[in-house]
Amino acid sequence: MITSLTFLIVVFGIATVVLSVFVAYKFKKQARNLNNGSRKLSKALAFQLVGEAVLGAGTTVFALLAYMELLPSVPLFIQSMIRLFLFSVTSLTTIHLYLVTQRIEK
């Protein structure tokens, strides 16, 4: 049961990463046709989605390693550094989106 669930998480993880990258590309492409504030917001949303894709990819890697029963062989320090990187990326993209919306509002 757990193996099936972990496999399902890997499949959904891959699908989520692909979706985030695809929609980020669409936001970036759409930004070309927009003006000032809308353009900035569209680019910021694309950047946010790239951060989401990075977080999803990291989560998927952990799920894949668990599915393959390789996660225990990855040193805890490496696992922690990967998690730190993932949370840093998502925090930075969230802060970026917040700052862009604040600048647009002024």
Q: What's the pLDDT score for residue 90? A: 93
Q: Give the domain extent around 50.
A: 2-105
pLDDT by residue for the chain (106 residues), tens digit each?
A: 778 999 999 999 999 999 999 999 999 999 999 988 899 999 999 999 999 999 999 999 999 999 999 999 999 999 999 999 999 999 999 999 999 999 988 7
Q: What's the pLDDT score for residue 106? A: 74
Q: What's the pLDDT score for residue 2? A: 75
Q: What's the pLDDT score for residue 30? A: 93
11 to 54, 61, 70, 77, 86: CA distances (angstroms): 16, 11, 18, 26, 19
Q: What's the pLDDT score for residue 95? A: 97
Instruction: Look at the chain and report how many structural domains it folds into.
Output: 1
